Structure 1
Amino acid sequence: MDAVRVALLREVLAGTEWLGATRRFAGTLRGSVVSHGGGLLIVGTPEYEPWHLAAHLVDEAAWSGTPELAPTLVRHGARASDPAHLAVGLGRLEAARRGETLLVVAPGEPTAPLLERVSDARRAGATLLSLGAGDGELPSLAHETLAVPEGAELDLDTVQHLVSAAAGENALPPRGRRGFRDRLSRLADLLTAPPPARW
């Protein structure tokens, strides 16, 4: 989803709780990785790997001048023969420490082994964020949760687009200039605004 589509989606969602909720969650995410600088890990479930969110955050990190937003995707089925950005396995969670941020994206309750690893990472000092169904044990472990329950107005993929876009926009543009995404968003707002009233 590009910046113009995100801007249009935000316009459709004006007046709903989703805009504020996704911006707050994105602010927590951004604040955690920027203030601690220890890196961002993203993990899903064996059935749902959030590679799309990881790719969008890599883009947002580049466009916003906030390299800390570029995540490491932790995969359940990672193999040493995979490309480097896809070869990080669950063992990486065991190495998570204070200063790192772990974002768990799961449409349902994660498996017990994953919950155990996530809990260990939190005990080791990692900041734990949860994006998903909002029930079960994971939200009680997380420092911050954005719930996307089954049957909600938006699906998990759409919410991920809103979160990644907000995480990049909330960053300060490099060298005091407005970033490309900010300029594109402003252009979309101008193009979709009603014409000025004539007197």
Structure 2
Amino acid sequence: MEAMDSGSVALLRELLAQTGWLERARELGHALRATRSPGGLLLVGTPDDEPWHLTAHLSDEARFSGLPQLTPTLVRWSPPPDAPAHLRVGLDRLERAARGETLFVLSEQQAPVPLLERVDDARRTGATILAIEGGDTELTGLAHDAIAVPRDGLVTFDGAQHLVSAAAGEVEQRLGLRARLARLLEKVSGPQLAD
């Protein structure tokens, strides 16, 4: 993959600033920080698309920013019984979601009914529900806050995850989201954030 040149980075930053993407990502990223304790940020995807990538980014942000509550728990649909403990967390963990915890749902396609049911249950027990989704009105209706990522938009589903995770780890002493995005874009290829 080819890295974006500085002109492309500047153009993308300008385009994102005009669309409100940076502000929305910052809002959702800061909402993730309301999780009270490490392990209370639960990430779940769909059966075919578990959020490994975002789990890694949030783990890094927790470490770099000194915000341990951003350390995520990856919730898996069918974890292997012989997997390490941190990779063996199954959907039953959502039944124990409680006030002060955050359930962060990633679903680029329509969320399956079993996931929606568990999200609804977690919301009823007091967990905060956040989502990045691809236009799923049912999931958006259950979420306290959500970002919809249109398929033909400027930002891809993966790009939205990068923006939100960077915003979550943002602290005043560090680079702002735009500067961090510019640094990220210089490292990654264009297709990950731009169509």
Normalization by structure 1: what TM-score? 0.78
| Partner Cα distance (1:144, 1:102) in 2 | 11
Q: Which residue of 2 aligns with 1:110?
A: 111
Provide the alpha-carbon RMSD of the alignment: 2.3
SS at match of 1:130: strand
Task: Map 1:104-183; keep pairs closer than 5 Å.
Answer: 104-169=105-170, 171=171, 178-179=173-174
2:18 maps to 1:15: yes
Question: What is the 5 A alignment of 1:8-47?
Answer: 10=13, 13-30=16-33, 32-33=34-35, 36-37=36-37, 39-47=40-48
- Structure of higher CA gyration radius: 1
Question: Does the CA-based 8 Å contact 1:134-1:145 persist in structure 2?
Answer: no
Shift of 1:44: 0.2
Q: Distance in 2 between matches of 1:13 and 1:133?
A: 18
How many Å separate the matches in 2 of 1:110 and 1:119? 12
> Within 5 A, what are the aligned runs for 1:69-108?
69-108=70-109
Query: 1:95 Cα deviation (Å)?
Result: 1.0
Deviation at 1:84, TM superposition (A): 2.3
Q: Which residue number in structure 1 is paired with residue 57 of structure 2?
A: 56
Residue 143 (structure 1) shift: 0.5
Aligned residues with identical type, % of pairs: 53
* Aligned 8 A contact 1:79 1:89 in 2: no
Q: How many residues align?
A: 172
Question: What is the DSSP-based 3-state SS (H/G/I as helix, E as strand, rest coil) of the residue aligned with 2:21?
Answer: helix
Moved over 4 A (4+): none
